[in-house]
Amino acid sequence: MVLTVKEFDLLATLIRNRNVALTRCYLYETVWGEEYLGETRTLDSHIQRLRKKLGWSEQIQTVFRIGYRLCVPGTRTETEGAMRFFTKLFLCTVFVLTAALAAAEYFTVSASLNNAVEHQVESGLQQHQLVKYAIQSGVLNASRTGSVDERALTDIAGQAADAMSVNLSLAQSGESALYSNLADGLSAAAGTDGGIGYQILERTAGSGVHSDWLVMTSTFQQSGYALELTTARSMSAVFTEAELLRQRCQWIFLGPRWPAHCSSCCSPGCLPGPSSAWSVPAGRLPGAITVPGFRCAPGMRSAT
């Protein structure tokens, strides 16, 4: 089989642009280097000879009203390869940008949540101190008019709870509560040396509704009584916001499985929580929102 120069050039042009429909004008001007006027049959005759010499009657296809195409199954042109490369590059760029935005949102909102928890703790400490002072003042006033008994302590605690709209419990140390409007199970270990012990706890009601509470406890001596005061305030709004953050970010991290217990806390006060729960280690505030899935160790702040 012998090809002429023009046949070879025509075949080379078709091979370089395999699987691409080429116009008669492009083929003629590329191979013959002349302007295509549309009246010559030179190109068509060369195509017919190529088909016959190479036995490529099916491979060299006529494209209606356009020109010719060399069909080579299983191969792709440089243009197709470049398009695939840039498509992959575009998809990778989108993925990286999405992951970066999700990570930025995660750390930004996480820091905001940590600040919100720290603010709640500081507000809770102030509230606990105000309740403590109110009870101490009530006991002192009662002692001026007569003896102070358990009934008087109960009345004083109830008046403080109503006046300040606070959830509290007042008990003699080591004994049952004299007054309490707290939900069952809400308690924290008292701080040492006059400090206020606190803990973030989760409570599940009988209906299955979860709620989060910041519980604070302190002990003090007043009029011959060793008293233990516990106050609680809701933290559900803070952890609900954290749960919304987890739902927005979870998909980008391929749906992680949160641990079912606290891996960084050995305290007996560490309570397991559901996989959707987030916790803040109270004893290490301020700090980042840490591993979700548990309610962590108690902390202690100075009462002064």
pLDDT digits (tens, 9 = 90+) for 108-129: 777 777 788 888 888 988 999 9
pLDDT of 158 > 70? The answer is yes
pLDDT of 9 > 70? The answer is yes
For residue 186, give the nearest of 133, 255, 124, 144 by alpha carbon.
124
pLDDT of 30: 92
pLDDT, the chain, mean: 75
- Among 69-83, 133-147, 173-187, 227-241, the minimum mean pLDDT is found in 69-83
Query: What are the start-end ranges of the E strands in 38-150?
Result: 60-63, 67-70
- Among 36-50, 61-75, 79-93, 221-235, the minimum mean pLDDT is found in 79-93
Residue 249's pLDDT band (boundaries 50, 70, 90)? low
CA 28 to chain centre: 61
Question: What mean pLDDT is predicted for residues 150-176?
Answer: 89
- Greater confidence, 185 or 36? 36
Report yes or no: 7 and 50 within 8 Å, Cβ to Cβ: yes
As a whole number of angstroms, the distance between CA 91 and CA 100 comes to 14
CA 283 to chain centre: 24
pLDDT of 261 > 70? The answer is no
Residue 170's pLDDT band (boundaries 50, 70, 90)? very high
For residue 294, give the nearest of 285, 277, 284 by alpha carbon.
277
pLDDT of 2 > 80? The answer is yes
- Residue whose pair of structure tokens reads 């042009």 in the numeric block: 13
pLDDT of 237: 82
Residue 252's pLDDT band (boundaries 50, 70, 90)? low
- Among 69-73, 90-94, 165-169, 245-249, the minimum mean pLDDT is found in 245-249
Question: What mean pLDDT is predicted for residues 207-218?
Answer: 77
As a whole number of angstroms, the distance between CA 233 and CA 236 comes to 9
Supply the pTM of this predicted model. 0.53
CA angle 50, 55, 56 (to 5 degrees): 70
Report yes or no: 226 and 219 within 8 Å, Cβ to Cβ: yes
pLDDT of 214 > 70? The answer is yes
- Greater confidence, 219 or 103? 219
Two tokens, residue 268: 């007996």
For residue 219, give the nearest of 199, 185, 196, 236 by alpha carbon.
196
Strand-pair category, 177-180 with 22-23: unpaired
The CA-atom distances, in angstroms, between 246 and each of 251, 257, 258, 268 are: 9, 12, 11, 27
pLDDT of 48 > 90? The answer is yes
